[in-house]
Amino acid sequence: MKHRNAALAPVLQQRSDIWAANDLPDSAQPGIPSGHPALDAELPGGGWPVGELTEVLSDCQGHGEMSLLLPWMAAASRREGWLVWVTPPARPHLPALAAAGLHTSRLLVIDAERPAERVWALRQALESGACTGLAGWLDKADTAMLRRLQLAARATPLPVLLFRPAHDRQRPSPAGLRLQLSPGPAHALRVDILKRRGRPASTPLYLRTRAFSMPPPLSSPSLPSPAAGPIRRPALTLIA
């Protein structure tokens, strides 16, 4: 075994696309930090992968699931360009987003009804070159749609995150990373890594979410409540 590992060492050093089954691969392109160190430690590249799809499978709302994305989105909104959300399940609560550090004047929300229209909007956003971050919600998507999105993602230096129903866990997907979210202990979100490059994950992660001092707004059950103090009036761009 030691002799075989010694023989493979030069190959593993020269080829970033080849790795031992019990290791995480060294990504040729570093990932974008998620803002959650415990999660980044489990992701190849040390963050959200770029140039491929990430699927977030969940049926829970109001358990802090948006807290998974907010640190990355807040950082992305500070750069020149658009932070694009395609058909989120509820209208964003802008004061809460602003309190979390997101520049809401750069948030572009696109409403689309049919799955094909949502996929088209995601692809157009990717191909525009004007995005700093992209997230979409797809309640229905076939393999062909996902493959078209994967091909579009390869040409961009961005993470592409898709929220999909938990029951799609058993369906095949071209996504390089698949996470499943579920409620954890108080003010925590359970994250199971279903698929990643390299060795499988064996244990779930528990990420702390923001606690609520009062019931969250009906229009945004998964977002943190705004911090105390004055907040500059945010803006929102909506395309239907």
Average pLDDT over residues 145-168: 90
User: For the segment 157-196, what is each residue's pLDDT rounded down to a tens digit?
Assistant: 889 999 999 988 888 889 999 999 988 887 788 999 999 9
Enumerate the β-bridge partners of residue 206. Answer: 190
pLDDT digits (tens, 9 = 90+) for 50-88: 988 999 999 876 667 788 899 999 999 999 999 999 999
Alpha carbons 238 and 91: distance in angstroms, whole number: 10
The mean pLDDT value of the chain amounts to: 79
The CA distance from 153 to 215, in Å, is 37
Whole-angstrom Cα distance, residue 99 to residue 229? 10
Contact at 8 Å (CB) between 156 and 173? no
Residue 232 — very low, low, confident or very high, per pLDDT cuts 50/70/90?
Answer: very low
The neighbour count for residue 27, using CB atoms within 10 Å, is: 19
- Tens of pLDDT, residue by residue over 83-110, are 999 999 888 889 989 999 999 999 999 9
Dihedral over Cα of 35, 33, 45, 151: its sign: positive
pLDDT of 213 > 80? The answer is: no
CA distance 185 to 139: 27
pLDDT band at residue 6 under the 50/70/90 scheme: low
Across the range 204-218, mean pLDDT stands at 58
For residue 151, pLDDT over 60 is answered with yes
Q: What strand order describes the sheet that includes 131-137?
A: 205-208, 188-195, 177-183, 53-57, 160-164, 131-137, 82-86, 107-110, 237-239
pLDDT value for 240: 41
How open is the CA angle 43-55-171, to the nearest 5 degrees? 120
